[in-house]
């Protein structure tokens, strides 16, 4: 049973060059989609965090303007301190999530760079094969006076 994959030496160099360039462009497009998704994830982190802080502020205001409590009531101070602590925790949570997203983005960027380097290396090898074929064709033309078709 024959395999469907071919090595660079088994296929036409022109086709191999086109395939490596297409793979390069596909990698760039995929990296763009990943970056867009990552950006949307970071925006989601900020929006969700802002929503939670808004809820905390709303609870604080409800507690501070409660007419059943005197202005000097310790419950007002406790509500204020609780809101401060919750907001500090929320800032820390948002920071951790943001750092996690940035680390994931860095890992994806490294993977994309490695993939692009691989495609560039493939294209370089194919270009060298094409140049070699071109030089062979010129040499054969100079000796025979006619162009020989390539074997691939």
Q: Is residue 46 part of a domain?
A: yes
Q: Is residue 128 part of a domain?
A: yes
Q: What string of DSSP letters covers 58-112? A: HHHHHHHT-TTS-TT-HHHHHHHHHHHHHHHHHHHHHHHHHHHHHHHHHHHHHHH
Enclosing domain of residue 106: 13-143
Q: Is residue 8 part of a domain?
A: no
Nearest CA to 27 out of 102, 101, 122, 104 is that of 122
Residue 147 has pLDDT above 70, yes or no: no
- Tens-digit pLDDT profile for residues 26-49: 999 999 999 899 899 989 989 999
- Tens-digit pLDDT profile for residues 98-134: 999 899 999 999 999 999 999 899 889 888 888 888 8
What pTM was computed for the model? Answer: 0.65
Total domain count, the chain: 1
Q: Is residue 5 part of a domain?
A: no
- Tens-digit pLDDT profile for residues 52-89: 989 988 988 888 888 888 888 888 888 889 989 999 99
Q: Is residue 148 part of a domain?
A: no
């Amino acid at each position: 049973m024959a395999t469907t994959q071919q090595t660079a030496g088994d296929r036409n160099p022109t086709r191999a060059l086109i395939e490596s360039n297409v793979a390069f462009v596909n990698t760039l497009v995929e990296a763009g989609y990943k970056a867009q998704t990552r950006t949307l994830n970071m925006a989601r982190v900020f929006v969700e965090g802002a929503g939670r802080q808004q809820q905390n502020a709303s609870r604080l205001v409800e507690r501070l303007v409660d007419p059943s409590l005197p202005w000097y009531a310790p419950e007002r101070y406790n509500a204020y301190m609780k809101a401060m602590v919750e907001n500090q925790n929320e800032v820390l949570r948002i920071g951790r999530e943001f750092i996690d997203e940035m680390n994931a983005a860095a890992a994806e960027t490294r993977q994309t760079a490695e993939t692009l380097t691989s495609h560039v290396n493939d294209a370089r090898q194919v270009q060298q094969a094409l140049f070699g074929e071109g030089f062979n064709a010129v040499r054969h033309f100079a000796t025979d006076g006619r162009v020989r078709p390539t074997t691939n």
